[in-house]
Chains A and B, each alone.
Chain A
Amino acid sequence: MTTILNEGDSAGTTGAAQGSPVDAAPDPDKGTSRGRLVLRRFVRNKAALVCLALIVVLYFLAFCYPLFTQWTYDQQDYTSFLVPPGGTHWFGTDKIGTDMFAQVMRGLQKSLTIGLLVGIISTSFAALVGTTAGYFLGWTDRSLMWIVDLLLTLPSFLIIAICSPAFRGKTWLIFVGLLAVFQWMITARIVRGMTLTLKEREFVKAAKFMGQPARRIIFKHILPNMASLLIIDATINVGSAVLAETSLSFFGFGVQPPDVSLGTLISDGTESTLTYPWLFFIPAGFLVLFVLSVNFAGDGLRDALDPSSTKGRRKESKRKALGELRKAKFDVQTERRGMPAPQGEGKHR
């Protein structure tokens, strides 16, 4: 044992010497057994695996659809207006003769990317800001929470509406950034509150006393312990980003014709739900399929990360986390409207 200690000693000093912030935290989980264990548990969950595969297939379809069909999304077939699915138009056509399959696939391209990116960006941003504010407290906390409150009071729709002419003609990925910027604040406040409680737990103290720097404590201990909340938040954000994009597009911002997204297709198709159902149900079905797969994959990831989760407990814990999230969001919203929050938030200030 002593020999090992001595070797460890020398390794320890060199390690400390080169412990610059850049190379200190390349990937905390890489190669350690936690990463492997989580992967093993995830693979064991068949539903999640299927859904992950489904997302990959959807992506593949969305980007490779020209291989399967002769039509493109901005090309009209003047011989067939509003034909039902079948024949050369697999999903039918709309009232100006555009092929629905091509449109849905093109829309899927946009929506998949917008949804996933907005979900991931806004949740990770929320996690970062929330944990930083909650862990360091003091001025960091006050200034970050000031920004959060400011963004919460700004009418996001108006800002996006004002900004979007400036971005017209540029890449629609800017739009992703805009959507994400207005979706993270409430989660950040919840994350901050959870950080405050987790910070007092003994395992965080233990890590602090063994000399673990704050940054790594956040990544190794605090974030994994609120993974359930973050994953659920991200999956909800994916769905709401797709819908937010729809409403913006409806008002003429965001994705503009002739380009399409699932959102614009659905909003165009709503009026023909009963008369020409394929115009509505097909894009809507793809949206449901996409959001559901994201949800199941997220569930799988959450179960893989949560050691106490078993099949029997899954529903319960999800319901609990969802309830927690909803309640916290409700608290923040009532607070924004100037009403007394029923519980909690106030004392975190």
Chain B
Amino acid sequence: MTAADTLFEPAGGSSDVGPVLEVSDLAVSFPSESGRVQAVRGLSYQVSPGEVLGIVGESGSGKSVSSLAVMGLLPSQARISGSIKFQGRELIGLSDDQLSKIRGRKISMVFQDPLSALTPVYTVGDQIAEGLLVHGKGRVTKQAAAKRSVELLDLVGIPNAAERAKAFPHEFSGGMRQRAVIALAIANDPDLIIADEPTTALDVTVQAQVLEVLKTAQEVTGAGIVIITHDLGVVAGFADRLMVMYAGKAVETGHVDEVYQRPRMPYTLGLLGSIPRVDADEKQPLVPIEGQPPSLVDLPQGCPFAPRCPMAVDACLTDEPPLSEVDNSGDHYAACIRSDELGAVEVQADEASVAAAVDVAAEVFGVEVIGEPEVARIPRDQRTVVLDVRDMVKEYPVTKGVVFKRRIGTVHAVDGITFDIREGETLGVVGESGCGKTTTLMEILGLEKPMRGEISVLGQNVSALNGRSRKAVRRDMQVVFQDPMASLDPRMPIGDVIAEPMQVHGIDKEQIAKRIPELLKLVGLRREHADRYPAEFSGGQRQRIGIARALALEPKLVVLDEPVSALDVSIQAGVINLLDELKAKLGLSYLFVAHDLSVVRHIADRVAVMYLGKIVEIGDVDSVFSSPQHPYTQALLSAIPIPDPIKERARERIILTGDLPSPANPPSGCRFRTRCFLHASLPPEKQSKCIEVEPPRAVQAPDHEAACHYAEPRQVV
């Protein structure tokens, strides 16, 4: 931290003792076609110097709008009332010029999408220097600014900072861009940093890096931080205080431990219960919060959460409850008239912990663990193999030239992977983006002969298929895509969407007409939905439609490509439960691709971890998660945030350095060695084995294989 000492004044030296930011009774509304949207309705909070406030809520809860209001970045048609005091100075009503003197110097912001937050035509160093020059007019020379921008980049952990400062944003990877944005945010030693979903667009391993950098930034500047997120896990280990927002209002605030362990508002409870846990020993039920957030145009009387609340009584519908203190704790407030009763339910549990809170959530929302399919009782070896992939390879040529294309290299997207799926089983495939998960899926779904290796679906080798038998195989293998909007034809009513696979396979009209309402019911929709268009449905409902379409032909194998990653947590839980239930009911097999390991832990029976086109570890989900053998799996698992503040703070994180190497030029020997912490700690004579010999997949435990020369189990969750 020597660089930091010279860069920043020691924290806490400022004269004001009061809060950095004091928002009281903030209300923001926008005009819209159907009336004024009340995006924020009376929000009050404070941030003290050096404090981290986490704001959590679903999309549309007003969390981003409220922070944009603090920055004065709302569009001109927004109507703002209330008060925003920054270091005692009222911000509402200041002109743009006056605000510009504060923005970037005293208050700075880290945006969600790091690519659009940087100007593509200036070098990263210039952009940081610009921030310094604008606010230090006359006092800072160009040379000094350039020098300082290099120091800042160094501080946020960009290697070769002097070199990289001359690079353009597109030459940075996503994680590096976000670091550069953080460097820009702390350039002027701000007193408040607002981070709006700073890690949502990033991979888990990179997310862990960025959170670490934010922590460093907070330590060196001593600034107050407002971190906005929809993921309760991210803030658990980072925030000091938490504020849960719903329908434009804070519904619960308090110290982070208090809120996680003793949630006193059913919404918070539901959110906690809806997150699949990577550290769960046994299958825990997920709590779906039924329904949707209310429209903010015309809010009905009473508590806005009442229509989705399992505890709602008539009294909830008359008045909107104010935030009031619970348990005489002095710091913990909740907006619920029945919060005391929630406390009473909890007392039955021995001691307050997040696990107990989750149990309470399951009890309050009335969910149960979904059973296993019957076929799962038969030992695995005796079940039919639904999908068998052997040494599959997929390469793309890299070409150069327009008229005469020359091949200058090869992208090894998938490089010899082997796995199988048995009846009634779920295989989760996980890995960072760019590791070849999606390519694997597309190869399997394409049903064409792979470049090398073999794919067999239900015992049929795809290279031996002709037109008709390929169509017959397609019937048994269906797909659900990631983006529920893009995977449904916007010009087709839902009934037609679901009918399409049946039409393709020549089922007659009357049966199709009979089957559509059945399928809609199966996925929890109503039959009259059939003649509506996809645009009229919410994300979760659309994903249900996608699932209904996949199930129309009663397939044996369903391929799921990140089916829940585009959904809000509370909706995600509903879809996961549906998938679980369908598997138990219909005896399906899933090939489930995801980057979220906690979802995989919840739904999968076996898991395969991919890195740069290879499977580095595969096996039974409990075995892989509880004693991961491969260093990459260990790093991935340790990067997953756990929504439990106490556990999260005590955890030791393995931070992977750098980004995924290019699959066009993978490292020799073990592909992971360039980022491997284990490799780095080895003596040179052992290291050479990693560099020269590619590790084979070796059995480490029953149904657990890993590809590492020096594999040893390590507990990380």
**A binding-site residues for B, Cβ under 8 Å:** 1, 4-5, 7-8, 11-16, 19, 31-34, 37, 201-203, 205-207, 209-212, 216, 220-221, 224-225, 227, 305-308, 312
The interface residues of chain A, by DSSP majority, are classed as: helix
Binary contact track B479-493/A, C-beta < 8 Å → 1, others 0: 101110011111111
CA distance A210 to B553 in the complex (A): 10
The interface residues of chain B, by DSSP majority, are classed as: helix
Question: Across the interface, which residues of A come within 8 angstroms of B530, CB to CB?
Answer: 33
Among the listed stretches B67-75, B240-248, B428-436, B508-516, which one makes contact with chain A, having 4 or more residues with CB under 8 Å of it?
B508-516
- A273 to chain B minimum Cβ distance, whole angstroms, is 45
Question: Across the interface, which residues of A come within 8 angstroms of B489, CB to CB?
Answer: 203, 207, 220-221, 224-225
Within 8 A of A (CB), among B468-484: 468, 470-472, 474-475, 478-479, 481-483
Is B491 touching A227 in the complex (CB atoms < 8 A)?
yes
The verdict on A211 contacting B504 (CB below 8 Å), with A33-B496, A307-B491, A308-B490 known, is: yes
Specify which of A1, A4, A16, A225 is in contact with B491 (CB 8 Å cutoff). A225
**26 interchain pairs, CB-CB under 8 A:** A5-B554, A7-B511, A8-B507, A11-B506, A13-B506, A14-B506, A16-B471, A32-B495, A34-B491, A34-B492, A34-B496, A37-B493, A202-B481, A203-B488, A206-B479, A206-B487, A210-B500, A212-B504, A220-B489, A221-B489, A221-B492, A225-B490, A227-B491, A307-B491, A307-B534, A308-B535
Is B535 touching A32 in the complex (CB atoms < 8 A)?
no
Is B508 touching A307 in the complex (CB atoms < 8 A)?
no
- A194 to chain B minimum Cβ distance, whole angstroms, is 13
Specify which of A1, A16, A209 is in contact with B472 (CB 8 Å cutoff). A16
- B393 to chain A minimum Cβ distance, whole angstroms, is 21
Is A202 touching B491 in the complex (CB atoms < 8 A)?
no
**B binding-site residues for A, Cβ under 8 Å:** 33, 445, 468, 470-472, 474-475, 478-479, 481-483, 486-493, 495-496, 499-502, 504-509, 511, 514-515, 518, 530-531, 533-536, 546, 549, 553-554
The verdict on A211 contacting B481 (CB below 8 Å), with A8-B511, A203-B487 known, is: no
Of the listed residues B33, B472, B475, B489, the one surrounded by the most CB atoms of chain A closer than 10 A to its CB is: B489
Question: Across the interface, which residues of A come within 8 angstroms of B471, CB to CB?
Answer: 16, 211
Is B491 touching A224 in the complex (CB atoms < 8 A)?
yes
Residue of chain B at shortest CB distance from A1: B518
- B54 to chain A minimum Cβ distance, whole angstroms, is 34
Specify which of A15, A201, A203 is in contact with B506 (CB 8 Å cutoff). A15
The verdict on A307 contacting B533 (CB below 8 Å), with A8-B502, A205-B481, A211-B474 known, is: yes
The verdict on A202 contacting B487 (CB below 8 Å), with A210-B478, A211-B471 known, is: yes
Residue of chain B at shortest CB distance from A203: B489
Question: Across the interface, which residues of A come within 8 angstroms of B478, CB to CB?
Answer: 209-210
Of the listed residues B470, B478, B504, B535, the one surrounded by the most CB atoms of chain A closer than 10 A to its CB is: B504
Specify which of B475, B495, B500 is in contact with A12 (CB 8 Å cutoff). B475
Is B496 touching A15 in the complex (CB atoms < 8 A)?
no
CA distance A307 to B535 in the complex (A): 8
Question: Across the interface, which residues of A come within 8 angstroms of B505, CB to CB?
Answer: 8, 12, 15-16, 211
CA distance A19 to B553 in the complex (A): 18
Of the listed residues B491, B511, B534, B536, the one surrounded by the most CB atoms of chain A closer than 10 A to its CB is: B491
Is B475 touching A211 in the complex (CB atoms < 8 A)?
yes
- A108 to chain B minimum Cβ distance, whole angstroms, is 35
